[in-house]
Chain A
Amino acid sequence: PEEAQMKILVGYKRVVDYNVRIQVKPDGTGVVTDGVKLSANPFDDIALEEALRLREKGIAEEVVVVGIGPADLTAHLRNGLAMGANRAIHVTTADAVQPLTAARALLKLVEKEQPGLVLLGKQAIDDDANQTGQMLAALWDRPQATFASKVDISIESGADGKATVTREVDAGLETIEVELPAVVTSDLRLNEPRFIKLPDIMKAKSKPIDVVELASLGVDSGDHLKTTHYAAPPKRSKGVMVKDAAELVAALKAKGLL
């Protein structure tokens, strides 16, 4: 069989850690992020893990993590390198990046890097948009397989190959087949990401990170959504504790729920 030469691009966003209970600023201008723990978006860790497994299976040759954000994002990308990515690309911008801009920037990198597969998380847990992968696939005019819980890649000789992807949809598990190159977005059950070991952190220090300014990619930042106000969600009124099942059933009956 021919040697697999496929390159995989992985989106690697930094977000407020999923364990943090975020606070909305009293003046409604945003959420408090100063001094708050930041981590890799959990879905992106899963996407990266899948890419690393494909490399370990000999299907891919190189795994490249991509982050878009401010100068201090470099340290975050080192985590991706420590996890096992070969190299990183840091697209720098001081502005908040919305999905359409992220997709346009990723498209520029895709055109340059020519990956066989782009793996992204299905959504970022800060903006909860669930858009970037689909938008990239549209702009690239390539297939998308979103909410993936299983990915099988087969490379046929002389062809670009295909991916058979099981997707977590509301009705159950859907399987689709997509020609490569394609965009796949990871769902929670795709895999369990590995932990970073200390020697890997040392090794990651010597791995290359390309830095490129967002503006230099010629990305049209386009028309964005303007966020005009942030609010805390309405609080539910305090409930009552009941002493046993009988009292619970009586209370639900009284409300006409049983």
Chain B
Amino acid sequence: MSKILVIAEHLDGKLNPSTARAVSAAAAVKPEAVDVLVLADNAAAIAAEAARIGGVSRVLTVERAENAHPLAAVLAPQIAKAAAGYSHVFAPSTTFGKDVTPRVAALLGVAQVSDVMSVEGPYSFKRPIYAGNAIVTVEAEPSHTVVATVRTASWPVAAGGTNSAPVESLALDATLPTHTRYVGLQSGKSDRPDLQSAGKVVSGGRGVGSKENFDIIFKLADKLGAAVGASRAAVDAGYVPSDLQVGQTGKIIAPELYMAIGISGAIQHLTGIKDAGTIVAINKDAEAPIFEVADFGLRQNMDVELSIVMPCLNEAETIAR
């Protein structure tokens, strides 16, 4: 039987919801246990959150001052030690998971399965390649630990609230390097919902035209209670910071509603939104590839998408009343 260790992602003492998505993927393996590993300087609050996630058997905490920040070189040797006795190690396929997990896999001398979309069996998984334009089924070696990252957009947040898994402190004999030091985080934090977990996302592209015009995207998002995203073109043009980028090289998301405004729909952008529930495209170009994937398309022969967005915003305002 399988035993799975899920690596918790957290920031500022709070558990990231991507952890509960990784737990969902772990549950799909039908293991005898799913344990969550919390590496932190102060783990209590994070561990308490993890313990409530449905399907979690135990929460293991490793509290060390060195674990205050998510440095892969510091965390990986601890995770590799903690992996003993587990058949699988899962982490969310966020920048955190992508950074640390391959380091763990290499320390264990095993291949890694990146971006698990579905579990076909304990050693068989589906994952996207070529910017999501092909889906492959891969088989891992059953005699080795399976190390994998979980494509968060493909998995629901495991139901939480009712579980109360035991929390145990774990002592690991791991020597930690001092060659890597955390300096700081310049966070693009806002009061808006988080792009990766939001139910609704409004994204702007090059067609928005300017940094100033992007305010309309933010206003529309706020009206709808949506997170804000952007295409690579909008980021490169300096309209918004890069942590808002949606696509192969940015964030992969699966909201219920995705509104793409002034976004043509390049392959690398589409790969980031393929699993969205409903896609709305507003674009002046009738030939824009985004219309091929949109459930609802609105095109008007105007120079600036802004003038299309405004009535939309007004409509949303009406609904809000």
Contacts and interface: CB of A to CB of B under 8 A. Distances in A.
Q: A and B, one complex?
A: yes
Interface of A: 16, 18, 21-22, 24, 31, 98-100, 103, 123, 125-139, 141-144, 146-147, 149, 164, 167-179, 182, 187-189, 222-233, 236-237, 239-246, 248-249, 251-253, 255, 257-258
Contact of A223 (B102, B111, B308): B111
B141 A223 contact: yes
Going nearest first, the 8 A-B pairs with the smallest beta carbon separation are A138-B106, A134-B102, A131-B102, A135-B106, A172-B187, A175-B183, A245-B311, A249-B315
B137 interface: yes
Nearest to A145: B180
Contact of A231 (B104, B134, B279, B298): B134
B227 to A, nearest CB: 12
B181 interface: yes
Given A99-B111, A228-B138, A128 B103 contact: no
B294 A146 contact: no
B115 interface: yes
Nearest to B289: A21
A99 B299 contact: no
A225 B134 contact: no
Interface of B: 11, 71-73, 76, 94-96, 98-107, 109-115, 124, 128-141, 143-144, 177, 179-189, 196, 200, 224, 232, 235-236, 241-243, 248-249, 251, 256-257, 267-268, 274, 277-280, 282, 291, 293-300, 308, 311-312, 314-316, 319
Contact of A240 (B110, B137, B267, B296): B296
A249 B140 contact: no
A72 to B, nearest CB: 21
A202 B136 CA distance: 41
- Chain B interface mostly helix, strand, loop or mixed? mixed
Contacts of B107: 138
A178 B180 contact: yes
A149 B235 CA distance: 13
Given A22-B130, A134-B99, A228-B138, A245 B298 contact: yes
Contacts of A171: 11, 185, 187-189, 243
Contacts of B293: 236, 239
Nearest to A137: B103
A138 B76 contact: yes
Given A137-B103, A188-B249, 18 more contacts: A128-B114, A128-B248, A133-B102, A138-B76, A147-B99, A171-B188, A172-B189, A174-B182, A179-B179, A223-B111, A227-B136, A230-B135, A233-B274, A242-B298, A245-B311, A248-B280, A249-B312, A252-B278
B105 A135 contact: yes
B257 A131 contact: no
Given A100-B105, A134-B72, A257-B257, A168 B112 contact: no
Nearest to A180: B179
Given A131-B114, A138-B107, A245-B311, A172 B241 contact: yes
Contacts of B319: 249, 253, 258
Nearest to B74: A143
B134 A31 contact: yes
Nearest to A101: B111
A125 B72 contact: no
B290 to A, nearest CB: 10
Q: Pick the most buried of A142, A143, A225: most chain B CB atoms within 10 A of its CB.
A: A225
Interface centre among A127, A133, A172, A179 (most CB of B within 10 A): A172
Most buried by A among B94, B179, B280: B179
28 contacts: A24-B134, A130-B98, A134-B72, A134-B98, A135-B105, A143-B177, A144-B73, A168-B243, A170-B96, A172-B186, A179-B180, A182-B179, A188-B249, A222-B111, A229-B136, A230-B135, A231-B137, A232-B134, A236-B279, A237-B295, A239-B294, A240-B297, A245-B314, A246-B311, A252-B296, A257-B256, A257-B277, A258-B316
